[in-house]
Amino acid sequence: GTGPLPDFRDGTKATFHYRTLRVGDEEGTPLDDSRARGKPMELIAGKKFKLPVWEAVLRTMRPGERARFRCDVKHVVLYPLVSKSLRNIAAGKDPLEGQRHCCSIAQLHEHYSLGYPDLDELQKNPQPLIFDIEVLKVEAPGSYQQDPWAMTDEEKLQAVPLIHKEGNELYREGKVPEAAAKYYDAIACLKNLQMKEQPGSPDWIELDQKITPLLLNYCQCKLQCEEYYEVLDHCSSILNKYEDNVKAYFKRGKAHAAVWNVAEAQADFAKVLALDPSLRPVVSKELRSLDARLREKEAEDKIRFKGIFSQ
């Protein structure tokens, strides 16, 4: 790196790659490697973080610089929990999964499992660790949009309408995968908040009613991306709670039709008509399309099987 050190005040975001190794195993397989996961780490200065030594080191680095440093046990005793959260983030899960209902001391109890054998072993037998860090970029406060996992609860609520709007704009521009990613981020914000509420409580229901239209938008994107089984799963989850959701029946019917679940598609389209007869022209079009595809498939099958049996 060259030039002066960035002004790393609270709210600054550092994006960097990292590798975590055990002392004495510098050439072995790392515990964690952000490059192997395909996504760098992002840290926002001043946010509550269980590994403050990373922020302390990042404050001394410029974009493009690399550093390797060793940390004693007292500085990394909580690394197994940090690693679990980072692995959850990389897998698209809630970073606090499994950590909501017990304190850090309880989580470090010898019988508590993090779900990863290597982290369980490190938790039972803490040891010094070596970190390799390469800073990719440093962004000033206000110049970037935070990822949902890094937001406070209030920031999540404020961000959802903005992310939703961005998703709608991307969809109108024909950028369907990008729109789906925006809807996913908005859903993640609300799901994270919902997990903190008692299922079925007024606050839980209010959040769920905000999630549903976003999830339907996400399903529309997935329909266009031909990811039909994901649409089936999400629409079914909506209908398990809201039996009169016409859009969920319609999108699920289209997904069923796409994967040749003919009876299921017809049943969903019939439900659409029962709930909203004004949609008959749209439903009739879908049923005609399904019927035409069935006739085409039957004709292809006759030719295919005729060739087989004539050999």
- Specify the pTM: 0.63
**Residue 106 has what pLDDT?**
44
Q: Kindly tell me the sign of the dihedral angle through the C-alpha atoms of 55, 60, 61, 67.
A: negative
pLDDT one-digit tens code per residue, 153-172: 888 899 999 999 999 999 99
Centroid of chain to Cα 145:
16
**Helix (H) or strand (E) segment spanning residue 73:** helix 73-76
Distance CA 259, CA 41 (A): 38
Our CA angle for 43, 208, 273, nearest 5°, is: 135
Distances (CA, A) of 47 to 55, 151, 198: 10, 9, 26
Confidence at 149, pLDDT banded by 50, 70, 90: low
Convert the pLDDT of each residue in 82-111 to its tens digit.
Answer: 999 888 877 665 555 554 444 444 444 444
Domains in the chain, CATH or no CATH each: 12-139 (3.10.50.40), 153-309 (1.25.40.10)
User: What is the three-class DSSP state of 104?
Assistant: helix
pLDDT per position as a tens digit, 192-234: 899 889 989 999 999 999 999 999 999 999 999 999 999 999 9
Q: Percentage of the chain with pLDDT > 90?
A: 62
Q: Quick check: 301 pLDDT over 90?
A: no
Higher pLDDT residue, 129 or 85?
129
Residue range 246-261, pLDDT digits in tens? 999 999 999 999 999 9
293 contacts: CB under 8 Å, gap ≥ 6? 257
In whole angstroms, what is the distance from residue 17 CA to residue 185 CA? 22
Q: What average pLDDT does the structure give for the chain?
A: 87
pLDDT at 100: 42
